C-alpha cells in the first residue's frame, strides 16, 4: 500500500521495483490481488497489464490499524498505548510538545462544536434565546 500511495496507479512491475526489498514478481502480484479482493485497491486492465490504484486513503487505513492495535494489544486503553510510548522512550520532549499542541487544538475545536450544538438546541441556532 505504501508504494501505491506514493506512486499512484501502478502495474506489478513498478510496485516490485519500488519495494525496499527484493520480492518475486508473482509474490507482488499475489499480494496486490489479495488487496484487490479485500477492497483495498482497484484494478484496471490496460493493454496486457493490470494497473492497481489505492481504493482507501492512507489516513483511513492508519486510523483503522491504530484502533485495531489499541483494541487488541492494549485492551482498548489509549492511555496504555501512550504510557508504553513514554516508557520505551518513543516520545521525545519535542514530540510531547507537539502532541500537547495537537491536544489543545482538538479540545478547542470540540469546545466550539459543543457550544454550537448547545446554542442551536437552546435558542434555534442563532445564539439568542
Residue-wise pLDDT for 38-66, tens only, equals 999 999 999 999 999 999 999 999 999 99
Any idea what DSSP says for residue 79?
H
Q: Give the contacts of 106 (CB within 8 A, at least 6 positions apart).
A: none
21 pLDDT higher than 90: yes
125 pLDDT higher than 70: no
Per-residue pLDDT band at 13 (split at 50, 70, 90): very high
Q: What is the mean pLDDT of residues 5-29?
A: 97
Q: What is the mean pLDDT of residues 93-103?
A: 90
Q: What does the alpha-carbon distance between residue 83 and residue 88 come to, in Å, rounded to a whole number?
A: 9
pTM recorded for the entire structure: 0.65
Contact 4, 54 (CB under 8 A): yes
CA distances (Å), 71 to each of 11, 80, 81, in order? Answer: 35, 11, 10
Amino acid at each position: 500500500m505504501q508504494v501505491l500511495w506514493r506512486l499512484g496507479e501502478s502495474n506489478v512491475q513498478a510496485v516490485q521495483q519500488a519495494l525496499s526489498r527484493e520480492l518475486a514478481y508473482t509474490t507482488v502480484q499475489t499480494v496486490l490481488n489479495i488487496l484487490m479482493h479485500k477492497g483495498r485497491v482497484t484494478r484496471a486492465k490496460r493493454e496486457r497489464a493490470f494497473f492497481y490504484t489505492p481504493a482507501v486513503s492512507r489516513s483511513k487505513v492508519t486510523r483503522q490499524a491504530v484502533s485495531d492495535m489499541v483494541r487488541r494489544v492494549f485492551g482498548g486503553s489509549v492511555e496504555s498505548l501512550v504510557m508504553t510510548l513514554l516508557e520505551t522512550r518513543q516520545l521525545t520532549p519535542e514530540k510531547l510538545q507537539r502532541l500537547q499542541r495537537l491536544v489543545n487544538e482538538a479540545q478547542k475545536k470540540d469546545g466550539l462544536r459543543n457550544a454550537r450544538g448547545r446554542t442551536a438546541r437552546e435558542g434555534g441556532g442563532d445564539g439568542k434565546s
